[in-house]
Amino acid sequence: MADTTHGSGGLSPAGETILRHYRSQVTVRRFYTVIVVVGVIVALGAAMAYANSANSGKFFERLPFMFDFIKNFVPRDPFEIFRAMFGLESPYFDGSAKYDYTSSNIYLTDTFYIPNFIYQLIVTVNIAIVSTILGGGLCLLPVLLRCHEPRWRGTGALDRAPHHGSDARFPRNRYRGPSYGRSLDRADSGHCGGVAAYDRGARKAVLRGRGECRHEAR
């Protein structure tokens, strides 16, 4: 019989043993976690040191300049943003493509043009609309094709017309519950106005209802 005597901590000796084992497993798991983290840090540092020594551009020396490219996106004045958006000439144009906002405009006439930013925006929106229409159409096509497939009429997937011998007079079978020992289907009989019980093993139908009918399969 198990010892149910509780110790000073409110646990039985078996419970104290389980708690001691659990704490031991937690300690071991934490120890392994520390080892894995330290190993990853050492491997990362070794890889960075190798990259620093193998590349002429160095690695650690370039860390302070990692985000120096951001200054290239800062305009000289706030109006440069609107000049670039609407294809206006920049006062800082020096012949380079950095301040050339007019050469990419789409001219419809000699004086009327569509800014390149607006044109690219229209292209992007058109691509999104066409992609949505094509994707929706391809997804809807299987659904439309599925709607034309024949479906079983009745109460469930077990509803199906019998195909053997004289049982073909009954339009369908309805499963009304499990039968022990033999597979038994039941169907509403339009012949005798009762209930037909089909025994597939013996292939016979016994009709019970308003009229007594007995039909033996050939």
What is the rounded CA–CA span in Å between residue 155 and residue 170?
16
Q: How many domains does the chain have?
A: 3
Nearest to 120 by CA among 96, 85, 144: 85
Kindly state whether residue 89 falls inside one of the protein's structural domains: yes
Enclosing domain of residue 84: 76-151
Nearest 5°: phi and psi at 47? -65, -40
Distance CA 36, CA 30 (A): 10
Q: Residue 149: CA atoms inside 13 Å, Cβ hemisphere, count? A: 7
pTM of this prediction exceeds 0.75 = no
Q: Six-digit token pair at 206?
A: 């016994």
Residue 208 lies in a domain: yes
Single residue among 35, 53, 74 that ends a domain in this structure: 74
Instruction: Report the distance separating Cα 72 and Cα 75, nearest Å.
Output: 8
Q: Examine the domain organization and report whether 61 and 84 are in the same domain.
A: no
Q: Model confidence over 11-43: pLDDT tens digits?
A: 899 999 999 999 999 999 999 999 999 999 999
Same domain (yes/no): 144, 92: yes
Residues 189 and 205 in one domain: yes
Asked whether residue 160 is assigned to any structural domain, the reply reads no
Predicted local distance difference test score (pLDDT) of residue 213: 46
Q: Is the pLDDT of residue 143 over 80?
A: yes
How does 181-190 read in b/e, with b if 16+ C-beta sit within 10 Å? eeebbebebe
Are the beta carbons of 101 and 83 closer than 8 angstroms?
A: yes
- 186: β partners: 174, 197
Q: Are 87 and 48 contained in the same domain? A: no
Residue 91 has pLDDT above 80, yes or no: yes
